[in-house]
């Protein structure tokens, strides 16, 4: 049905496998997390995917060059979660001091180096307006295609930046998609340079009006999440919806055993993301059932 709830994903930095493969892997990672973390195995997971890597790379990532494919994780039972609230790491503390110095000096030298040399696609996003507009259009088209449906918008890494920009731009056009839950994962939205650019384009830093809930999932070892927490940086929207920063453990391991705390599959398999998906599907299905019951009662009156 056109108004059924939907999980809409958008990927992050770097080249990717072909669209169909990447979308399938995201769906499998979500399903694996639901099964292991909350004991759920939906027969038909409502999922769609926004793919933009082809706008920046000439050819998809080939299998023999993909060091970080999706594969089911070893073991059984829930994936790990942090014990209590994760305190800022030493990297966080150092970055906050450097950010303060940069802002006072009026030059964001460190951020420019991080973005250009470690997060290259972010640099391209801001330097290449054709690429930026095309990436935004991919998400706009998906939101238009699913207009009227309640959405859990799952945005990883640079996908969170694209999603934030699009939601703020649509807001100015008077268009508010039904974002029941905005889940950002490994988001670079706390970097000083990103915050400066967002405020320059949108006028302020706050939760988009279309968003009914915003959860920001971050592994504290993930370099992209360094900086201020998003709850500190982004004010609530007019409905009073603020960002909830949620520390997680990204347990993804490369096939040969190396860690990558930024990998999308690890975030999609966290218990925190699984619980968000289960609550979204349950809540929207209950709302749909109530709406049907009310419509049936009205028709029979």
Q: Tell me the per-residue pLDDT of 175-220, one tens digit each, with 9 for 90 and over.
A: 999 999 999 999 999 888 889 899 999 999 999 999 999 999 999 8
Ramachandran angles phi, psi of 124, nearest 5°: -65, -35
**Which residues on neighbouring strands pair with residue 185, listed in sequence order?**
156, 217
Determine the Cα angle at 126 with ends 241 and 92, to 5°: 60
Q: Which helix (H) or strand (E) holds 37?
A: helix 19-38
Quick one: fold of 6-57+86-294?
Rossmann fold (3.40.50)
pLDDT at 225: 86
Residue 180: partners with Cβ closer than 8 Å, 6 or more residues away: 5, 150, 151, 152, 212, 213, 280, 283, 284
- Mean pLDDT to the nearest integer, 73-101: 70
Q: What is the pLDDT of residues 136-171, one digit of tens each?
A: 999 999 999 999 999 999 999 999 999 999 999 999
Structure tokens at 64: 């023999």
Q: How many CB atoms lie within 10 A of CB 103?
A: 13
Q: How many Cβ atoms are within 10 Å of 272's Cβ, its own excluded?
A: 20
What ranges do the domains of the chain cover?
Answer: 6-57+86-294
Residue 65 in this model has a pLDDT that exceeds 70: yes
Statement: residue 255 has pLDDT above 60: yes
Query: pLDDT tens, 8-37?
Result: 999 998 899 999 999 999 999 999 999 999
């Amino acid at each position: 049905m056109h108004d059924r709830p939907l999980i809409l994903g958008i990927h992050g930095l770097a080249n990717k496998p072909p669209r169909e493969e990447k979308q399938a892997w995201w769906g499998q990672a979500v399903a694996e997390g639901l099964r292991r973390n909350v004991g759920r195995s939906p027969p038909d997971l409502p999922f769609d995917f926004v793919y933009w890597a082809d706008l920046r790379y000439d050819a998809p990532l080939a299998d023999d060059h993909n060091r970080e494919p999706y594969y089911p994780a070893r073991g059984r039972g829930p994936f790990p979660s942090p014990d209590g609230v994760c305190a800022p790491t030493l990297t966080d503390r150092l970055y906050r001091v450097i950010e303060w110095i940069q802002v006072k000096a009026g030059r964001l030298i460190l951020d420019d180096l991080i973005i250009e040399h470690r997060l290259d696609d972010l640099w391209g996003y801001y330097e290449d307006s054709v690429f930026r507009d095309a990436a935004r259009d991919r998400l706009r088209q998906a939101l238009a295609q699913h207009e009227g449906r309640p959405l859990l918008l799952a945005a990883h890494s640079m996908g969170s930046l694209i999603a934030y920009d699009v939601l703020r731009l649509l807001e100015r056009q008077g268009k508010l998609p039904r974002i029941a839950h905005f889940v950002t994962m490994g988001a670079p939205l706390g970097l000083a340079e990103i915050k400066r650019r967002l405020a320059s384009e949108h006028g302020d830093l706050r939760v988009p009006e279309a968003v009914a809930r915003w959860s920001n999932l971050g592994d504290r070892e993930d370099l992209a999440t360094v900086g201020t927490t998003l709850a500190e940086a982004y004010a609530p929207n007019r409905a009073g919806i603020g960002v909830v920063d949620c520390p997680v453990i990204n347990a993804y391991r490369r096939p040969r055993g190396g860690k990558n705390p930024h990998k999308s599959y690890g975030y999609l398999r966290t218990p925190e993301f699984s619980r968000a998906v289960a609550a979204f599907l349950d809540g929207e299905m209950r709302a749909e059932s109530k709406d049907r019951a009310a419509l049936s009662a009205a028709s029979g009156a």
